[in-house]
Amino acid sequence: MAQEQKNANYGLGMSVIGSIFFIFGFATTFIITLSGKVKDIFELTEFRAQLLSFAFFITYFIISIPIGLYIKKIGYKNALIAGLLLMAAGSFLFYPAAKMVSFPLFLAATFVLASGVVFLQTAANPYVTALGPQDSAGGRLNLTQALNSIATMIAPWIIATFIFKGTDQMLDQAQKAQTVQLPFILMGVMVVLVALAIFLIKLPEVGGKSEEQRKSVWGRPHVLLGALGIFFYVGAEVGTGGLIMSYLKTTLSMAPEVAGKYVAIYWGGAMVGRFFGSIMLSNMQNTTRKYTYVALVLLLALVSGSFVTEWSWNIGLIFMLIAVGNFVLMQFGGGREGRSLAVFALTAAALALITAFSTGNIAMWTVISIGMFNSIMFPNIFTLAVKDLDQGELSTASGIINTLICGGAIIPLIMGKIADVSGYSWAFIVPAVCYLYIFFFAINGSKIR
């Protein structure tokens, strides 16, 4: 009876956290992809358009550590509710920002929304890690990140289908701005309802103060090097995702709504790769079941790639073939977080360099494929960075690591400036350098000292 209750609590905890990952994944990618729309509305340079990502991700630098400490006092459940309510407040602020056609107010609304996301992410990652055995933590984090990535694929598709569509005919600036109002209102209402649901249910408690007195996490090199790995990973992922829209419009003369659908494929690659990661890094023993799940993920790649491009099965098939390559390379990782991270980081660096020094369809597919190799990076870096920490140290470590998510504020600005000065292709050298650092962390920096 006790075991059944424990399993029920575990299932409830994972279900709630899965929905949380979906929500903040949608919000994050919506803001990143919206930079292309904001560039058009306010007639900005690429550098200034990336200030939207800056306003979102600088929040991590400002409040992650205080929030990590505060969560110890209020608990994970209250932190999730607080984060959702802040997200709702930020979402509703976009309505007057669009009404006034005010870029500063857009940035302010983004900062408030991001504050809620920081609450959610700082609470959710250690919660997933502590909710079960440490040896399967990587698999659980990859599963929740995969749910996050379903949202990250949907968000740019929504922008391409409902916001960018018809932009060329809407010449009035106020009309362009007003196209973003309804999506943010719907987002705000949704997260308020989820906050209410979490308030009414009982979540399993994890963590708390550790009885074992251990050295501060500031003296743990693998935690600090892992935090730097998160800085470069998020910066590379956000910078690439934020520039793809303008890159495809500039180099291939794509219409905004078409380019937006390829952005959805970029983020969808992370979804596919994380599902693979959740399967291969789990403690699943049944080989038949494991490869049945793999086949289903490949089918998901085929269908999702076709769906976001208005049922172009040729594009869906190419997306599925990239997924096959992703899965084959994952086998070189041998089910180990560090080795899998090293293989993917090196592959992503190569794809970014090919993008920088090629053109046409080759460059298009290499830049889109980077998303699939981003897939396991965040959960694997996080798992390696918090390895060997007790539960009492997790909140503080998560706060430090999440602080360095501010890479999503810095790297896109650098890429935007390079794009303005030297062209979009040269900007992709920056993420290549980021991925090489992650390769170093995977093979050396993640060692426990």
pLDDT tens digit string along 56-76?
999 999 988 788 778 878 887
Nearest one of 448, 343, 335, 339 to 386, comparing CA atoms: 448
Nearest one of 55, 76, 174, 198 to 131, comparing CA atoms: 76
Residue 104 belongs to what H/E stretch?
Answer: helix 103-130
Nearest one of 235, 363, 245, 257 to 309, comparing CA atoms: 257
pLDDT beyond 50 at 211: no
Distances (CA, A) of 6 to 1, 10, 62, 132: 9, 6, 37, 11
Q: Give the list of residues 6+ apart from residue 197 with CB closer than 8 angstroms, or none.
A: none
Three-state secondary structure call for residue 357? coil
Give the Cα separation of 441 and 345 in Å (integer): 10
Q: Is 402:229 a contact under the CB 8 Å cutoff?
A: no
> Given pLDDT bands bounded at 50, 70 and 90, which one contains residue 216?
low
CA 50 from chain centre, in angstroms, equals: 17
Token pair of 275 as six digits: 């599902």
> Given pLDDT bands bounded at 50, 70 and 90, which one contains residue 281?
low
pLDDT beyond 80 at 339: yes
Distances (CA, A) of 442 to 90, 295, 335, 389: 36, 28, 14, 18
pLDDT beyond 90 at 234: yes
Q: Give the list of residues 6+ apart from residue 295 with CB closer than 8 angstroms, or none.
A: none
Three-state secondary structure call for residue 201? coil
Instruction: Report the Cα–Cα distance between both ends of the chain, in Å, rounded.
Output: 42
Q: Is 264:153 a contact under the CB 8 Å cutoff?
A: yes
Give the single-character DSSP code of 193.
Answer: H
The whole-chain average pLDDT of the chain stands at 84
Q: Is 398:118 a contact under the CB 8 Å cutoff?
A: no
Give the Cα separation of 97 and 395 in Å (integer): 34
* Percentage of the residues of the chain whose pLDDT score is greater than 90: 42
The single residue listed with the structure tokens 């007057």 is: 96
31, HSE (Cβ side, Cα atoms, 13 Å):
32
Nearest one of 358, 359, 329, 354 to 344, comparing CA atoms: 329
Average pLDDT of 175-202?
86
pLDDT tens digit string along 6-23?
555 566 667 777 788 888
Domain map of the chain by residue range? Answer: 2-203+216-445
Q: Is 376:332 a contact under the CB 8 Å cutoff?
A: no
Q: 367-370: list long-range contacts, CB under 8 Å, 24+ apart.
A: 367/240, 367/244, 367/247, 367/266, 367/428, 368/244, 368/262, 368/265, 368/266, 368/269, 369/269, 369/322, 370/240, 370/266, 370/269, 370/431
CATH node for 2-203+216-445:
1.20.1250.20
Give the Cα separation of 84 and 190 in Å (integer): 9
Token pair of 435 as six digits: 């991925």
Q: Is 120:24 a contact under the CB 8 Å cutoff?
A: yes
Angle at Cα 439 formed by Cα 428 and Cα 430, nearest 5°?
Answer: 15
Q: Is 339:332 a contact under the CB 8 Å cutoff?
A: yes
Instruction: Give the model's pLDDT for residue 280.
Output: 77
pLDDT tens digit string along 117-136?
988 887 777 677 666 666 66
Q: Is 117:151 a contact under the CB 8 Å cutoff?
A: no
Q: Is 261:160 a contact under the CB 8 Å cutoff?
A: yes
Instruction: Give the model's pLDDT for residue 25.
Output: 83
- pTM strictly above 0.95: no
pLDDT tens digit string along 81-116?
999 999 999 999 999 998 898 999 999 999 999 999
pLDDT tens digit string along 404-432?
999 999 999 999 999 999 999 999 999 99
Give the Cα separation of 439 and 91 in Å (integer): 37
The identity of residue 435, as a single letter, is Y
